[in-house]
Structure 1
Amino acid sequence: MSAGDRPSPADDKLDRGVLKIASVVVVGAIMAILDTTVVNVALQQLTLEFETSFDTIQWVATGYMLALATVIPVTGWAADRFGTKRLYMLAIVLFLVGSVVAGMAWSIESLIAFRVVQGLGGGMLMPAGMTIMTRAAGPQRVGRVMAVLGVPMLLGPIAGPILGGWLVDSVSWRWIFYINVPIGAVALYLAWRLLPKDEPQPAGRFDFPGMLMLSPGLALLIYGVSDIPAAGGIGETSVWLPMSLGIVLIAGFIVRALRVENPLVNLKLFRDRTFSIAAITMSLFAIAFFGAMLLLPTYFILVRGETALQAGLLLAPQGLGAMVMMPIAGRLADRTGAGKIVLPGLVVILAGLAVWAQAAADTPYWLLMVSLFVLGLGMGSSMMPIMSAALQTLTKKDVAQASSALNIIQQTAGAIGAAVMSIILAALLAGKFGVETSQGQVAATAALQNPQTHDAAAVLAADSFASTFVWSLLLVALCIIPALFLPKRPPAAPPVGDDEGAPTPPMLAH
């Protein structure tokens, strides 16, 4: 872009053409982000529907998150190879197909498989949409573009659980997937009519061998971990064999990635001290926080006897807290340095989790609501500043690859967190109710539904949840160690991205 083509301050606002494009991307983003939150309140209903355990049902969420992580690095290459408009429309179609077949699922295995299809489409929607909007608005208006995309990111955690709860209670769990069809149809039509045509560009060779090692490796590792409760221990073949194969594939990917050009994930980025520290902090944070968030609606439904809709409404304070703090934390991190924002944010999260680590069957609702709002404030103070810290010392040409790497880390760690917290809860419930690990939640549900055993069962179930949240609290406390080394000074340069540089893909927080 020449100097004469640059927008003047008077042209700094998003014009009508850009706003049209933004409307397309926001509709797609709403569909993808809502789907990551509506499912959580339905997990208890799905556990009963398919007569399975929580450590199995969590794969409905984990499989989706793993698929997101798998497809993120593919998106940038595919956008150049096939054009962003074609890729965006393909992502919508893939997401819609996954939604329809997920709604038609006849078993837990089929539902998990169809959620993976959904995740492959959903994972491409946000990065592709961000690329389209950034190209339309120009690098000088990326901040305004991010503000527009921030709307569904902030509203998703509030509206998703409420919508999901209403659908589960009033219609059917299948409609948490079917609801995507009308939204997706609108997004597809708008994309066809409003998005500018773009021609495919020359793209470098895609690292297919790397993808064939990393993606199955992560899936096998997490599958093995998640099977520990059902199998009865790590010594069982169904546990150690997939875990071992996963570790071998991941190790093979690491060795290869350090030797080839244009690997799927550029591991040389980890030579940057600040990036490595931020990546470690992000990993621990995602395992602890996203794993714990998966359990919150189940506590309200299982222990407190709330409906799915009521559980969704009760989770709203967390989304409100994040919505209040995210824009404030972003501005403060730019002015004072990310480390000065992340550390207080982690302390705030610890304060919120401390309440849940002592939650009983009769803990006052006002106290739980306050703690959820506090958790939201802490999450809003931590997520984006950690990513900003990771990127602030990198060169412009490395930012796109670094953003993809951080997205993969976040999604994978979140999936591991969901699996680990589900394992801990399943084992604790089984121990309290004297059954096999895979039957812990079923036994707890049966005891809670029996008026004669309800009160005693509620105490036992609440104690199991509280003990699980203790583990989450300890992991967040561990985050403080690497967070101590995050930058405590403002970035030396303005936000990365210029006329030649690639835009920074947004973090897709769940």
Structure 2
Amino acid sequence: MPDNSVEGLKARYGDRWRWLAVVTVVVGTMATVLSATVVNVALHDIMLEFGLRQGEVHWLATGFIAAMTTTMLASTWLLDRFGVRPTLVCAMTLFTLISVAGGFADTPGQLIAARVGQGAMAGLMQPMGMYLVFRIFPVNRRGQAMGIYGMGVILAPALGPVLGGFLVDQFNWRYVMFAPAPVTFAGVWMAWRFLPVSSSRPARYTFDFSGLTLLGVTIALTLDTLTRLQALGGQEVRIMAQAIAVLVLLVGFVIRERTARHPLVNLTLLRQPAFLYATMGAMALGLALFGSTYLIPLFVQTTLGFSATEAGLLMLPAGVVLGVIFPLAGKMADQRSARSLVLFGIAMFALSAVLFAWMGEYAGFGWLAFWAVLGRIGIGFMLPALSIGALNPLAPEQMGAGSSSINFARQLGGALGVNMVALAIEFGEHVKGLPTAQAFESAWWLVALFVAIAAVPVWKMRA
């Protein structure tokens, strides 16, 4: 059996072992983001096959993100208990099996359950990349490493819609569920070969199951309450009761985390202003990234009559440009103020959302693709700078909790963002059960507003 200690990896691969480890976690990251985005171009076909409204089909996106948001906080305990290599291998193996099972779903409930299962495994995988980068790279090279790692986050949204569109048009929507499986299957082999074995781990401690349960129920009930707002008539009392229950559960979760010996969420990190403001910015980034990735394919297919392949190709230039921008922005994050980079990114993304809201119905393919490029440039500047600004002030032993928390904030923003975008579309005008351009316009203005509001906490970050 090969020696996978840090010394053993250095002996086999030299200094490049760090980059081989980063590429390995990039594979896992690509699979999770690919799975999160590839289904969006298939939503139109799924709606038609199962007779679903937009207010129901959004659970394929929201369920995935909500499950990912909840389970990613368990990654800190798993990393401390088992280490990054066995945890990542198990998560990728289960992710592969669930993806294949989802492709054979016969009912909407089975398909949504598979998406929730994918999201749960993705939540365990995604924070490990950031954790590994901040553990194995020195401070002055973390921005560059985050730029390379972030290409996994970027390439998957670029390739996902194109791949999904091709699969939907040439085969059927079921193949978008199969698509991530080969990637994670390859990732299992790479993890055993290139990831280091922890030389020392913290003393064993109990997992905060109570905190995880409270958080999971709170998120699920919040999203269900938002969904019920789409059909408000006759449900006012239930919606009000659920809203009160959400507040009670949230208070209970905060009390539990403040008193638990080993909390699921280390709330003390929020006492550091830079981490607090970066966390707020990460929530806005999640709303922007997942909200726009959900909106664009559904908009151009439903309102403009694009095919699934055309919808995917529309997103391709944005992903390619972002793939170029991201490493550069990561390197700039080592040299410049995180605040200035994030504010520039917010301005670019807000401009993109305003253009989609203002002229999206009348624009041709080229203009729509250009506006998508502007939005992805904004995200490219925001993501590495937020991570650097949040995690650099933390002590090494806080990296696991910090990376989990910042990823949690981004995913929570994504889960709430997709649900709120779906709510805005559902309240808009519909013709024959399908949303019109006016409905999508409202959703784009909502995205632009929330991203603009994020400039307030980001402005308070230290230069």
- Scaled by the length of structure 1, the TM-score of the pair is 0.81
1:53 aligned partner, one-letter code: R
Query: Is 1:443 paired with 2:444?
Result: no
Higher Cα Rg, which structure:
1
Name the counterpart of 1:501: none
Give the structure 2 partner of residue 220 of structure 1: 221
Specify the code of the residue in structure 1 equivalent to 2:154: L
Q: Distance in 2 between matches of 1:303 and 1:464?
A: 10
The separation in 2 between residues aligned to 1:363 and 1:119, in whole angstroms, is 34
User: Post-superposition shift, 1:311?
Assistant: 0.2
Distance (Å, rounded) in 2 between the aligned partners of 1:184 and 1:390: 29
Q: Given the alignment of the two structures, is residue 481 of structure 1 paired with residue 453 of structure 2, yes or no?
A: no
Residue in structure 2 matching 1:465, options 425, 435, 440 = 440
Report what 2:204 is aligned to.
203
Q: Deviations over 1:349-383 (max 9, x none)?
A: 22212211113533233222221111111111122
Fraction of identical pairs, as percent: 30
Distance 1:34 1:143, change over 3 A: same
* Alignment partner, residue 336 of structure 1: 336
Alpha-carbon spacing, 1:474–1:180, altered in 2? closer, same or farther (3 Å): closer
What is the deviation of 1:23?
A: 5.2
How far apart in 1 are the matches of 2:218 and 2:150? 32
Does structure 1 conserve the Cα–Cα contact (< 8 Å) formed by 2:284 and 2:410? no
The equivalent of 2:359 in structure 1 is: 359
Residue correspondence of structure 1 range 269-348 to structure 2 within 5 A: 269-348=269-348
Which segment is superposed worse, 413-422 or 275-284? 275-284
Whole-angstrom CA distance in 2 between matches of 1:130 and 1:393? 15
User: 1:20 offset after TM fit, Å?
Assistant: 5.5
Given that 2:129 and 2:149 are in contact with CA atoms closer than 8 Å, whether structure 1 keeps it comes out as no
Instruction: Quote the offset at 1:18 in angstroms.
Output: 5.3
- Superposition RMSD on alpha carbons, in Å? 3.0
Counterpart of 2:63?
63
Q: State the match for 2:157 in structure 1.
A: 157
Q: Which residue of 1 aligns with 2:173?
A: 173
Q: Do the aligned partners of 2:274 and 2:461 also contact (CA within 8 Å) in 1?
A: yes
Please name the residue that 2:101 is paired with.
Answer: 101
Residues 58 and 318 of structure 1: CA distance in aligned 2, closer, same or farther (over 3 Å): same
Q: Which sections of structure 1, spanning at least 5 residues, go unmatched? A: 434-441, 446-460, 489-510
How many Å separate the matches in 2 of 1:284 and 1:144?
23
- How has the CA–CA distance of structure 1 residues 323 and 84 changed in structure 2, closer, same or farther, with 3 Å as cutoff? closer
- Name 1:454's counterpart in structure 2: none
- Aligned residues, how many? 455
Task: Map Cα deviations across residues 152-175 of structure 1 (whole Å, 9 max, x no partner).
Answer: 222112111100111111111111
- The match for 1:82 is 82
Name the counterpart of 1:423: 423
CA distance in 2, matches of 1:164, 1:24: 23
**CA–CA distance in 2 between the matches of 1:136 and 1:396?**
11
Q: Relative to structure 1, is the Cα distance of residues 468 and 146 closer, same or farther in structure 2, using a 3 angstrom cutoff? A: closer
Q: CA deviation at 1:52?
A: 1.0
**1:22–1:346: structure 2 CA closer, same or farther, 3 Å change rule?**
closer
**Cα pair distance change 1:383/1:253, threshold 3 Å:** same
Q: Check the 8 A contact 1:72/1:127 in 2, yes or no.
A: yes
- 1:245: which partner in 2? 245
Partner residue in 2 for 1:451 = none
Separation in 1, partners of 2:419, 2:230: 11
Q: 1:215 to 1:6 in 2, by over 3 A?
A: closer
Amino acid at match of 1:157: P
Structure 2 letter corresponding to 1:463: Q
Call closer, same or farther: CA 1:397–1:86 in 2, change over 3 Å: closer
Q: The residue matched to 2:454 in structure 1 has which SS?
A: helix
Q: Name the CA distance, whole Å, in 2 between partners of 1:55 and 1:423.
A: 7
Query: Is the contact between residue 91 and residue 124 of structure 1 (CA under 8 Å) also seen in structure 2?
Result: yes
Distance 1:304 1:425 in 2: 15
- SS at structure 2 position matched to 1:306: coil
Would you say the 8 A contact 2:284–2:454 is kept in 1? yes
Instruction: Report the Cα offset of residue 102 of structure 1.
Output: 1.2
* Offset of residue 115 of structure 1: 0.9
Q: 1:199 to 1:429 in 2, by over 3 A?
A: farther
1: CA distance, partners of 2:402 / 2:190: 31
Shift of 1:304: 1.3
- Give 1:297 shift: 0.5
Cα deviation for residue 99 of structure 1 reads: 0.4
Deviates more, 1:374-383 or 1:137-146: 137-146
8 Å contact from structure 2 (residues 6, 197) kept in 1: no
How far off its partner does 1:193 sit? 5.6
Quote the Cα distance in structure 2 between the aligned partners of 1:77 and 1:471.
36
Unaligned 5+ segments in structure 2 are none
What is the Cα deviation at residue 19 of structure 1?
A: 5.8
The residue number in structure 1 matching 2:28 is 28
